[in-house]
Structure formats: C-alpha cells, structure tokens
Amino acid sequence: MGKAVGIVEVFGLVAAFAACDAGCKAGNVTVENFDKNKPANADSLPVPLIVAVKFRGEVDDVTAAVESAIAAAERVSGVVTHHIIPNCDENTEKMLKLDGFDKD
C-alpha cells in the first residue's frame, strides 16, 4: 500500500497553480502530474477546463495540503470537488501517473 493521496479538481489552470502552491506550502507533500478534463458542458462553466491537482504524502500532510488548496482555488475560480485516499492501492497508484496535458 502507498502513501495518502489528495485530489482537488478546480476550474482552470490558474486555480490549479494557486491550489498547488498553497498545498505544497501547507504540508510536506509531493505533487503528481496535473490532469485535465473538458466536460461536455464546458461552455456553461466558470472556466471551460477542469484541472485535477494530486498531492502525495502522509495523511495529515495531505489533509493540510487539500484544505489549503481548496481555499486558494476558491479565491481564483472555484473548486469542483475534492477527495482524500488515506492509503492508496497499487492499482490506483498507476492511475495517478496519467495526465491529459500531453494529449490533444
């Protein structure tokens, strides 16, 4: 089993960078590749791109990072959702490495 994972989905890349910065400052965490999603209803969203910021570390550090990331993203354009996995399974670990930024 792996470390804890915290995922925060935000509206837009600027909010993702703000969330990432705040999260890294709040806890002893590392960051996986950002992931992106452009949903079918993108034109009705505050920003037409959803970005997932993924933190790794001990549960307390990941929790602090996610809480700070949420606060930072809310000041920019908003949060879609968030979730913490306390002890990541190895199959989930593989999925964390995927990202949509290298695809058209």
Tens of pLDDT, residues 16-53: 999 999 999 999 999 998 998 887 777 887 778 899 99
Average pLDDT over the chain, rounded to whole? Answer: 90
- According to DSSP, the β-strands at 4-11 and 79-85 are antiparallel
The answer to whether 66 and 8 have CB atoms below 8 angstroms apart is: yes
- pLDDT in the model for residue 102: 64
pLDDT at 69 exceeding the cut of 90:
yes
Residues in contact with 50: Cβ distance below 8 Å, sequence separation at least 6, in sequence order? 9, 10, 11, 36, 37, 38, 39, 80
Q: Residue 45 is encoded by which pair of tokens? A: 């969203």
Confidence (pTM): 0.89
Confidence of residue 15 (pLDDT cuts 50, 70, 90): very high
The answer to whether 17 and 80 have CB atoms below 8 angstroms apart is: no
> Distance of CA 21 to CAs 9, 10, 36, 50, 103, Å?
14, 13, 18, 17, 24
Average confidence (pLDDT) over 86-98 = 84
* DSSP code for 32: P
pLDDT at 73 exceeding the cut of 80:
yes
